[in-house]
């Protein structure tokens, strides 16, 4: 397209825009790559009580930006909203982001908001300055890290899994336990519900209940990798997990939740689960594994550092507070 064109129209998002919006999302949030089907799923599976809306910047049929607000089902509050926006780097500093943000802000302000939050990586000065000039203040940091599996040597940790299993804890994958078994689904959900209580969330947020049906809708997705979704089993109970999910790049995997029930901690189970999962990934030809951790979660950060994960530029959670 002619990048000297200046006519940009802001219009409401339509379902024909998923591919273009996903492209823009991936350009602006490179550590959290998505596919159009995943963005569509997030929209269509949003609970009825969670508001969301999106706009796009259209230049003669070519989308050069998007922005919108949504409410997180996992930390739902009727007056708290999240801002997601992105502009094609070739269109930075042309006022497109400012126009998109103003549309979102006016829409949110009609909903009597308490807060509007956003994410920005520290090496993105345009977006960082954009947020700070509009009253957003950073209140949490999250590290994304990557492990090059070519440099990962499972033999260094050869005793880790046998030592844990000698204590009576068995490490199994969802594929081994039965990916289609409803009883397995409910056991995983029960374990996930317990572990998520200790996953760090931004200050001032409170967890909302996630019903089994909503949890299972995401579990039952094509991104699920049953053979890489590891579980720690004690008798009939699931006590820990470390999950690998498919990523848009065929040679990459994303780490989901890694954690252990409180009463099973400090027994090396989480570390053994991670080793077991990474050994699987290396043996099956994957090249990289991506993960993320809140900056104060020293337990998980220490595990990842020991395994060889390398930190990328840190992401900040930014909050704008409204009067009243």
**85 assigned to some structural domain:** yes
Which of 113, 129, 155 represents a domain boundary (last residue)? Answer: 113
**Residues 213, 290: one domain?**
yes
Residues 191 and 96 in one domain: no
Query: Does residue 172 fall inside a structural domain?
Result: yes
The residue that leads in pLDDT, 258 or 93, is 258
Looking at the fold, whether 96 and 188 belong to one and the same domain comes out as no
Residue with tokens 């409803």: 182
Q: For the domain that residue 308 is a member of, what is the CATH number?
A: 3.40.630.30
Residues 98 and 162 occupy one common structural domain:
no
Please write the tens of the pLDDT for every residue from 266-320. Answer: 999 999 999 999 999 999 999 999 999 999 999 999 999 999 999 999 999 999 9
Nearest to 86 by CA among 123, 54, 133: 54
Output the CA–CA distances (angstroms, integers) from residue 138 to 52, 198, 317, in the order listed: 23, 21, 6
Q: Does residue 150 share a domain with residue 61?
A: no
Q: Average pLDDT, stretch 21-35? A: 97
In a domain, 98, yes or no: yes
Q: Are residues 303 and 163 in the same domain?
A: yes
**Residue 125 domain-assigned?**
no
Q: Are residues 109 and 151 in the same domain?
A: no
Can you give the three-state secondary structure of the chain, one letter per residue? CCCCCCCCEEEECCHHHHHHHHHHHHHHCHHHCCCHHHHHHHHHCCCCCCCEEEEEEEECCEEEEEEEEECCHHHCCCCEEEEEEEECHHHCCCCHHHHHHHHHHHHHHCCCCCEEEEEEECCCHHHHHHHHHCCCEEEEEEEEEEEEHHHCCHHHHCCHHHHHHHCCCEEEEHHHHCCCCHHHHHHHHHHHHHHHHHCCCCCCCCCCCCCHHHHHHHHCCCCEEEEEEEEEEECCEEEEEEEEEECCCCCEEEEEEEEECHHHCCCCHHHHHHHHHHHHHHHCCCCEEEEEEECCCHHHHHHHHHHCCEECCCEEEEEEECCC
Q: What is the C-alpha to C-alpha distance for residues 65 and 100, in angstroms, rounded to an integer?
A: 8
Q: Are residues 254 and 301 in the same domain?
A: yes
Q: Are residues 154 and 104 in the same domain?
A: no
pTM over 0.85: yes
87 and 154 share one domain: no
pLDDT, tens digit, 9 for 90 and up, residues 49-77: 999 999 999 999 999 999 999 999 999 99
- Contact 206/74 with Cβ under 8 angstroms? no
Average pLDDT for 145-157: 96
**What domain range includes position 239?**
145-312
Residue 139 lies in a domain: no
Within a domain: 266: yes
Q: How many domains does the chain have?
A: 2
Closest CA to 65 of 78, 55, 74, 51: 55
Q: Looking at the structure, tell me whether residues 89 and 152 fall in a common domain.
A: no
Residue 138 included in any domain: no
Is 322 contained in some domain?
Answer: no
Are both 226 and 299 inside the same structural domain?
yes
The tens digit of pLDDT for each residue in 113-130 reads: 999 999 999 999 989 999
């Amino acid at each position: 397209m002619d990048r000297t064109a200046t006519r940009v129209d802001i219009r409401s998002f339509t379902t024909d825009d998923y591919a273009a919006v996903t492209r823009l999302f991936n350009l602006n949030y490179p550590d959290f790559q998505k596919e159009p089907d995943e963005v569509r799923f997030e929209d269509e599976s949003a609970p009825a009580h969670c508001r969301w809306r999106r706009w796009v910047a259209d230049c003669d049929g070519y989308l050069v930006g998007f922005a919108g607000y949504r409410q997180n089902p996992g930390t739902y509050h009727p007056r708290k909203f999240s801002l997601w926006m992105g502009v094609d780097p070739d269109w930075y500093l042309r006022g497109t982001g400012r126009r998109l943000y103003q549309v979102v802000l006016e829409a949110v302000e009609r909903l009597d908001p308490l807060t509007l939050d956003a994410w920005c990586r520290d090496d993105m000065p345009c977006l960082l300055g954009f947020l700070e000039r509009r009253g957003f203040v950073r209140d949490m940091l999250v590290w994304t890290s990557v492990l090059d599996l070519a440099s990962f040597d499972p033999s260094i940790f050869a005793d880790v899994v046998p030592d844990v299993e000698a204590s009576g804890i068995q490490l199994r994958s969802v594929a081994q336990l039965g990916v289609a078994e409803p009883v397995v689904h409910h056991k995983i959900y029960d374990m996930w519900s317990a572990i998520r209580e200790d996953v760090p969330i931004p200050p001032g947020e409170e967890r909302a209940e996630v019903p089994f049906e909503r949890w299972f809708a995401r579990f039952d997705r094509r991104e699920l990798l049953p053979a890489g979704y590891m579980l720690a089993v004690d008798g009939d109970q699931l006590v820990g997990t470390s999950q690998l999910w498919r990523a848009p790049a065929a040679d990459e995997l994303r780490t989901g939740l890694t954690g252990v029930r409180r009463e099973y901690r400090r027994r090396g189970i989480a570390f053994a689960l991670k080793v077991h999962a990474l050994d699987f990934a290396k043996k099956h030809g994957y090249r990289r594994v991506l993960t993320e951790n809140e900056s104060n979660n020293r337990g998980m950060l220490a595990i990842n550092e020991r395994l060889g994960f390398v930190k990328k530029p840190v992401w900040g959670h930014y909050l704008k507070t409204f009067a009243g």
